[in-house]
A and B are shown apart, each in its own frame.
Chain A
Amino acid sequence: MSEVIVITSGKGGVGKTTTTANVGTGLAQLDKKVVLIDTDIGLRNLDVVMGLENRIVYNLVDVVEGNCRMKQALIKDKRYPNLSLLPSAQTKDKSAVSPEQMVKVIDELRDEFDYILLDCPAGIEQGFKNAIAGADRALVVTTPEVSAIRDADRIIGLLTANEIARVDLIVNRLRMDMVKRGDMMNIGDVTDILAINLIGAVPDDEQIVISTNQGEPLVGTDCKAGIAYANICHRVLGEDVPFLNLEEKDGMWNKLKGMFKKN
């Protein structure tokens, strides 16, 4: 049975697209059949984060308008044959697709894929409504900042009002050095305030920028963010994975490693 997951946040720039790319790729690494749908019409980005921007011929709006068949619009990932992307349109606007049409697109994909991931645009307007229309569950991404958490709270309210059965939280871009000084809210603070289940905590990691530059999701690689994303994927599948101790890893061991590297 397929599961449809929307990745959303309310606020822009907190890491929805990066999360979609990494969770999608991570689930594909676990041998699931996965399709990623970029629902941000007019501002498509998931294709570049996945490194598939040069292969786009048709897009979501073409499928909805009947300009092509679903098969023609789906782009196979270059690393994982069981991972596909349905890109968004760059030249249309959000009103080009309705929630009903979105549900139809998703239903067409349900037979073929285990997981359908929807990368939601920022905001709570039409694009958001499209993205959540066909979703079974949601991953809400936030950063430990007042503006992002406030928007996440609003989004959680809207998801509940729209009867999304399961809503989990990802706290992104944690800077443990700042948390230690007391200058950033910690994971407990954020989950206290938002009061939903935490499914992952991702540290702020330079490797994310590097992987986005290269168009290769870093899930599963040996860096903190890569491990954190891999853990999220296992939890999405229902496995019980202990949370990474982000604080300890930044301590003595890394300093030692750093010393050796320099010498």
Chain B
Amino acid sequence: MGLMDLFKKKSSGDIAKDRLKLLLVSDRANCSPEIMEKIKNDIIQVISKYMEIDAEGLDIQITQTESEGNNGNVPALFANIPIKDMRHSGTSE
């Protein structure tokens, strides 16, 4: 092991923290399907006010995304919402 490796080496405490941060993102996303379901239903309600969406095809999940600060990675809620019809989308009259 060269001298540079010594400098690069992360302490095991930091490794533990980083591993946990990642792990808990997926744990938290998985451990409360009830809450995910509630979020999903609320999203459907709100979006449906403005356009017709495919409620069946809607998919939400919690993943990671790049961010400035906070060590680069933060949890993010991704929602994939197929639109059936742009009913009264706020187009100018």
* Chain A residues in the interface with B (C-beta under 8 A): 144-146, 149-150, 153-154, 157, 161, 178-179, 181-186, 189, 192-193
Contact = CB atoms under 8 A, between A and B. Distances in A.
Interface stretch (B18-26, B51-59, B83-91): B18-26
Contacts of A146: 16, 19-20, 23
B13 A150 contact: no
A193 B71 CA distance: 13
Contacts of B20: 146, 149-150, 193
B28 A183 contact: no
B93 interface: no
B14 A193 contact: no
Given A181-B11, A183-B11, A157 B17 contact: no
Interface string B13-46: 1101101110110011001101100000000000
Given A150-B24, A193-B21, A185 B31 contact: no
Given A149-B20, A150-B27, A193-B20, A161 B34 contact: yes
Nearest to A145: B16
A130 B31 CA distance: 20
Interface residues of B, number: 17
Contacts of A181: 11
Given A150-B24, A153-B24, A181-B11, A189 B17 contact: yes
Interface of B: 11-14, 16-17, 19-21, 23-24, 27-28, 31-32, 34-35
A178 B12 CA distance: 10
10 contacts: A146-B20, A150-B23, A154-B27, A157-B31, A178-B13, A182-B12, A185-B16, A192-B17, A193-B21, A193-B24
B28 to A, nearest CB: 7
A153 B13 contact: no
Nearest to A160: B32
Contacts of B17: 185, 189, 192-193
